[in-house]
Amino acid sequence: MNSFLLFHGCSQTLRLAWLIGVVVPAWVASATPTILSTVPANATTGVNPSLAVKFTFSEAMNPSLTTVLFFDSTAPTTYLTTTPAWSAGNTVLSCTPVAPFPANKTIVWTVSGLSAVGGVLGGTTAGVFITASASGNTGCATDVPYLSFTVGKGRYYNQTSAAAPTLDTNMPYCLITCSTIPCPRTATNISVRVPIAGTVMNLPYSLIPGHLVLSSCGITNLTAFDTAYPNGDYLFSVQSPGSNQQVTVTFPTSLTQPAAPRLTNYLAAQTVNAALPFTLAWDSFSGGTTADYIYVEVNGGLFATPGMGSPGALTGTATNATIPAGTLQASHQYSGDITFYHQIWTTNATCSPLVYRATVTQFTLNTASGPTNAVTITNAGWTGGRFGFDIVSTNNASVAVDSRTNVATGTWQTLFSTNTTARRVPFVDTNPPAGPRRFYRVRGS
């Protein structure tokens, strides 16, 4: 998966968050009483181990008959004790851990109880979150010039035919917050406070030094998602031995959600000739401008367009991207995705905040069965005063180059052959013809 190698702003982390998956949906409509929302939301990563976990119910509950249990997923028989506190007319329950939850662990919670009028709690009554690491040092990134902070909101769709994509049912919405720490600076902790009083989440360390990413993708109801993560000021707090720093990143109401990308040649993408270039095409990005961004990839590191801010990155006016010949293999199925971004990216002398709304459409791409040895040529041109080109063999087989001076008649003469298994072989015609022209053909040998 990817995806999302972009160091600044972590916009491609949106795709990564989707691939992680969730254990249990965070909100399911059902008969009352139910749990309307939790803080942290289900499947949230990088949670402060000392954070009070908050449950909001659809109606007043009976405190003496409502119980929340917490345990580490690696030790399910040992419960983690918390101190409960009810508020808002017994509709909100906050559970503060007596001792901090274990660091870098998946914490499971379950709730059972009765409402004030005796109704049995229904809907989703279990969930998970992952606590932050206790390593105490973020490391630093050598590939970034600025301290950066990102808040992104994403929606996910699937396209399974030529028709319009449909909203993903398992993980339709996702919040991404991330930060990068440029060298030589390091930090002991970075947290973000969402525009809801008391909701503070730690950003966990990633495998890449200096890069911290927090995703929250467990809410399956749009109203609940917007309530948990509204527009407004997201306050990042950087704690370090030298000096602390706070940066406010404002998520504006003016930033609109892009429509779902739709492949216009979806059917052709199911019978791709792997030996030839293939152009993925999509409907125009509605409202997209050169200030917007499009990202396309075939998962597995096979193909991707440049990341946001990189040379050659696709703007919001692009409608296609070409996968080079030989990138794919015959008789294979691949997954890919197209993402439309509306973003606001600013940079000053000390930091670089980014906010975005992104919409991802995932699709499948299938290649047709090919000949035993499918070959193509590329990079034709003059080399040292002589004509040459590169031969690409899609299955690493042996190849040969033949020529003749008249394309209609005459005998093909073999100029070059090789039994190498390299996928790309250079060829230069070292014996140019006496006449004005020469025709070439490349074949599997």
Q: What is the DSSP string of 245-298?
A: EEEEEEE-TT-PPPPPP-BTTTTGGGSB-TTS-EEEEB---TT--TTSEEEEEE
pLDDT tens for 66-114 read: 999 999 888 888 899 999 999 989 999 999 999 889 887 889 999 999 9
Under 8 Å between Cβ of 375 and 393? yes
pTM more than 0.75? no
Beta carbons within 8 Å of 223's beta carbon, 6+ residues apart? none
* DSSP states of 145-182: SSEEEEEEEEEEEE--SSS--EE-SS--EEEEEEEE-B
Of 49-53, 261-265, 423-427, least confident by mean pLDDT is 423-427
- Cα end-to-end distance, the chain, whole Å: 36
Give the amino acid at 296: V
- Rounded average pLDDT over 31-41: 83
Rounded to whole angstroms, the Cα distance separating 407 from 437 reads 10
Maximal CA-CA distance, the chain:
100
Of 23-32, 206-215, 369-378, least confident by mean pLDDT is 23-32
Kindly state the tokens that stand for 415: 């100029």
CA distances from 78 to 68, 69, 83, 120 (A): 14, 10, 16, 26
Check residue 135 and give its pLDDT. Answer: 57
- Rounded average pLDDT over 10-27: 43
Rounded to whole angstroms, the Cα distance separating 235 from 389 reads 55
Q: Where do we find the tokens 């704690």? A: 239
Coil/strand/helix, residue 226: helix
CA distances from 308 to 12, 78, 301, 328 (A): 9, 45, 17, 24
Kindly report the average pLDDT of the chain as a whole number: 83
Write the DSSP symbol of residue 61: B
pLDDT tens for 100-150 read: 898 878 899 999 999 988 888 988 888 888 887 665 677 788 888 888 999
Identify the CA nearest to 314 among candidates 298, 296, 294: 294
Q: CATH number for the 375-444 domain, one of 3.30.70, 2.40.160, 1.10.3470, 2.60.40?
A: 2.60.40
Categorize the per-residue pLDDT at 289 as very low, low, confident or very high, splitting at 50, 70 and 90.
very high
What is the topology classification, in CATH, of domain 20-131? Immunoglobulin-like (2.60.40)
Check residue 25 and give its pLDDT. Answer: 34
Q: Where in the chain is the domain with CATH 2.60.40.1220?
A: 20-131
Looking at the predicted structure, is the pLDDT value of residue 153 above 90? Answer: yes
Give the amino acid at 229: Y
